[in-house]
Amino acid sequence: MNKKIADAINAQINAELWSAYLYLSMGTNFRAKGLDGVANWFEVQFKEEQAHAMIFYQFMQSRGARVVLKPIAKVETEWKTVADAFADTLAHEKKVTDLIHKINDLAIKEKDYATQNRMTWFIDEQIEEEEEAAKLLETAKMIGDNNVGMYMFDKELAARTYVQPSVLK
Ligand code: MG
């Protein structure tokens, strides 16, 4: 793996771990507000982001490249409403999609076929991440400050469970 690709993937491992940290922060924010189902959704998202970091981690090691971990920047700690958190989630996932596309562009430029192949998995994954965040944002906005609606939404999000991606060893 050439240095440009290795640097870009190391930066992406940091971005995925920052994402995990962001969603864990959202999780604890909603635990504190008594919305345990919403918190559960973000805690599962935390595990998914850790899995994304590990997929890159294992990919680099399979290719004989050294993973170099950098400091994780601080995250927000307060979200007033569920809609605010899903709006931030959607905006963040769009940024992540950009980062994934840039690594893919670099892999094409550097003729790194293995990295292009791995990025295809992430490109597909980002479609789902954006679709899900957009759908949940729309629902949260529709519910607004309707307590019964939020009670039901919270119950629905409590059902989310973590499924380990099949590409993770
Ligand atoms: Mg991710």
What local confidence, expressed as pLDDT, does residue 113 receive? 98
Selection from 79, 100, 97 nearest residue 88 by Cα: 79
- Is residue 51 a contact partner of residue 165, using CB atoms and an 8 Å limit? yes
pTM: 0.96
CA 99 to ligand 1 centroid distance, Å: 10
Rounded to the nearest angstrom, the distance between the alpha carbon of 35 and the centre of ligand 1 is 24
- CA triple 61-107-111, angle to 5 deg: 100
Give the pLDDT of residue 77: 98
CA separation for the pair 36, 43 (Å, rounded):
10
Q: Are residues 100 and 119 in contact, defined by beta-carbon separation less than 8 angstroms?
A: yes
Interval 56-109: pLDDT, tens: 999 999 999 999 999 999 999 999 999 999 999 999 999 999 999 999 999 999
For 23-69, the pLDDT digits (tens) are 999 999 999 999 999 999 999 999 999 999 999 999 999 999 999 99
Contacts 24+ apart (CB under 8 A), 132-137: 133/86, 133/89, 133/90, 133/93, 134/90, 136/41, 136/86, 136/89, 137/83, 137/86, 137/87, 137/89, 137/90
Cα 147 to averaged position of ligand 1 atoms, centre (Å) = 31
What's the gap in Å between 21 CA and the centre of ligand 1? 11
Residue 126 Cα to ligand 1 midpoint, Å, equals 7
Give helix 36-62 / helix 147-157 axis angle, nearest 10°. Answer: 30
Whole-number Å distance, alpha carbon 52 to ligand 1 midpoint, is 5
Distance 169 CA to ligand 1 centre (A): 17
How many whole angstroms from 146 Cα to the centroid of ligand 1?
31
CA of residue 164 to ligand 1 center, whole Å: 13
pLDDT tier at 114 (50, 70, 90 boundaries)? very high
For the record, the structure tokens of 44 come out as 């599962």
Rounded Cα gap, residues 89 and 132, in angstroms: 10
